[in-house]
């Protein structure tokens, strides 16, 4: 790996961090989902579950963040093209939002199936 490759990777990392900062500053949903992840990821470490189950719990939260970033990028791109109302622009935004909903439902299901029985056992004692 040459020094130019390292510089390119560093620049790419900086651009990624800038995008993440922008999403946090300007996206209420991103802040809410990050807050949930900041709570649930440590909870997953404390749960008496297998490594694979823990991986599924954390991965489901990361998927929500990933899809939210893509949703925000799609919304910004659509807004950049035109601020005028367009049925196609609305469809693009709605479908991106639906993708976030699917990721949230999948994550919720994952947590319910894996962490739910553990929580039930804890509250019964």
Helix axes 51-81 and 87-124, enclosed angle (nearest 10): 160
Catalytic annotation, pick one of 33, 53, 68, 84: 68
Neighbouring C-alpha atoms within 13 Å toward the C-beta of 31? 7
Per-residue pLDDT at 3: 83
pLDDT at 1 over 80: no
Active site residue 68: yes
Claim: this prediction has a pTM higher than 0.85? yes
Per-residue pLDDT at 78: 95
pLDDT tens figures, 68-78:
999 999 999 99
**Class for domain 32-124, per CATH?**
mainly alpha
DSSP string, 58-69: HHHHHHHHHHHH
Rama region for 21: left / alpha / beta (φ>0; ψ in -120 to 50; rest): alpha
Q: What is the DSSP letter of 2?
A: -
pLDDT tens figures, 21-69:
999 999 999 999 999 999 999 999 999 999 999 999 999 999 999 999 9
CB 54, CB 47: distance < 8 Å: yes
Tell me which of 98 and 85 has the higher pLDDT.
98
In which band, very low, low, confident or very high, does the pLDDT at 83 lie, cut at 50, 70 and 90?
A: confident
């Amino acid at each position: 790996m040459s020094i130019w490759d390292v510089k390119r990777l560093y620049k790419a990392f900086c651009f990624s961090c800038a995008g993440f900062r922008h999403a946090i500053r300007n996206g209420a949903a991103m802040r809410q989902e990050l807050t949930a992840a900041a709570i649930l990821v440590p909870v997953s470490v404390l749960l008496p579950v297998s490594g694979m189950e823990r991986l599924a719990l954390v991965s489901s939260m990361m998927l929500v963040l990933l899809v939210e970033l893509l949703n925000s990028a799609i919304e910004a791109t659509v807004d950049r093209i035109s601020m005028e109302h367009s049925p196609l622009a609305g469809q693009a935004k709605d479908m991106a939002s639906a993708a976030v909903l699917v990721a949230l439902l999948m994550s919720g299901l994952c947590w319910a199936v894996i962490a739910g029985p553990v929580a039930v056992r804890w509250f019964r004692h």
